[in-house]
């Protein structure tokens, strides 16, 4: 099928939202029954979204695709799905944090009615360590802040290939360490600072927890991991089962990892290959959310198992009908919104007083 020309962002958003919010019976009539794979049925609204995506997308990332071109396109996609009036905040503040290679841009979201000292989530965006930033994840950070009652500090860490591993991990740890020391400046309770992120950002959040433990830095109060990358070997069964057709492809992951992990890098370093860590004990409580139709599903769930075996309190929630990137889809997909409301509830509980 030939790809359709792109429409203005606002129009595409309205079309996608209209289609994804139709009754399931009508969605099945228009787009067919959702596939059932691995004992899971794809959500009807997500099935409709994937049908629309196939009309305008040539598929996954290609070997010769330019990084800047990819960043621009993914930013546009993020603006399409999140094209709604920004979720109101009491305050949004642009910050610069000290980093190992220079200032790190960050954005602090304070939801309405929140007074210091408040819980704080230090958040790392997804995007394969190559794309994404404060703007692509402005909407999910606002969503989490609004529905959890926590302040959210979104961190714009350095991206590959300009800055390969371990640059992103070093920036993530520096941002968390600064927040822990400057809790009062951020209006935060130093005993209720957590770390979190989606996909590559979930990977960074998990790495920060290990780096904090191993360096003797204050431990985060919790880790909020949304479909995290946890291994670099690509051996998890879900990477094969969902290699094509569900937004994130196996080829996409190869493209990202080739840029973040050039040949001279140790791909088994636990700061990126979390499952290679020798010890999972002494890490903060974790909430791990995975998507049923996601190449990264199994490795995220394996991390939850390893943490639990080491005595770390873990809540694992698989959303069987969802796909990777559901954190960014709350403005258009009811099923994604329901999943992220659960994530926000877990954040509220994980950073509760006492």
Residues classed as catalytic: 199, 294, 324
Question: If you write DSSP's letter for every residue of 207-247 in order, what string do you get?
Answer: HHHHHHHHHTPPPPS-EEEES----SS---HHHHHTSSSSS
For residue 32 the two structure tokens come to: 């067919």
Pairwise CA distance, residues 284 & 75, whole Å = 32
Pairwise CA distance, residues 301 & 242, whole Å = 15
Pairwise CA distance, residues 22 & 28, whole Å = 10
How far are the Cα atoms of 3, 88, 139, 212, 226 from residue 142, in angstroms, in the given order? Answer: 33, 8, 5, 26, 16
Pairwise CA distance, residues 146 & 345, whole Å = 11
Helix axes 44-56, 334-350, angle to 10 degrees: 120
């Amino acid at each position: 099928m030939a790809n359709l020309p792109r429409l203005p962002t606002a129009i595409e958003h309205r079309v996608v939202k209209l289609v994804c919010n139709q009754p399931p019976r009508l969605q099945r009539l228009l787009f067919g029954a959702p596939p059932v794979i691995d004992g899971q049925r794809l959500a009807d609204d997500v099935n409709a979204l994937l049908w629309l995506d196939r009309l305008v997308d040539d598929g996954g990332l290609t070997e010769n695709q330019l990084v800047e071109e990819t960043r621009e396109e993914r930013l546009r996609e993020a603006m399409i799905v999140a094209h709604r009036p920004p979720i109101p905040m009491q305050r949004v503040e642009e910050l610069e944090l000290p980093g190992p290679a220079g200032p790190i841009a960050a954005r602090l979201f304070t939801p309405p009615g929140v007074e210091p000292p408040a819980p704080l989530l230090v958040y790392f965006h997804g995007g394969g360590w190559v794309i994404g930033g404060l703007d692509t994840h402005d909407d999910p950070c606002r969503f989490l802040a609004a529905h959890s009652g926590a302040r959210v500090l979104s961190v714009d860490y350095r991206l590959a290939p300009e800055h390969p591993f371990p640059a992103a991990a070093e920036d993530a740890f520096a941002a968390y360490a600064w927040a822990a020391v400057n809790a009062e400046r951020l209006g935060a309770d130093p005993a209720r600072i957590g770390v979190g992120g989606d996909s590559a950002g979930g990977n960074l959040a998990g790495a920060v927890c290990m780096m904090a433990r191993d360096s003797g830095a204050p431990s985060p109060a919790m880790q909020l991991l949304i479909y995290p990358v946890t291994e670099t070997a690509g051996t998890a069964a879900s990477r094969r089962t969902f290699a094509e057709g569900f937004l994130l492809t196996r080829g996409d992951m190869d493209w990202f990892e080739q840029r973040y992990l050039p040949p001279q890098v140790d791909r088994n370093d636990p700061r990126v290959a979390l499952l290679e860590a020798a010890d999972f004990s002494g890490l903060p409580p974790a909430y791990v959310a995975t998507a049923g139709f996601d190449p990264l599903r199994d490795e995220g769930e394996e991390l939850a198992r390893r943490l639990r075996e080491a005595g770390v309190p873990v809540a694992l929630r698989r959303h069987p009908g969802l796909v990777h990137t559901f954190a960014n889809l709350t403005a258009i997909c009811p099923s994604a919104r329901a999943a992220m409301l659960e994530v926000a509830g877990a954040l509220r509980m994980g950073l509760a007083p006492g």
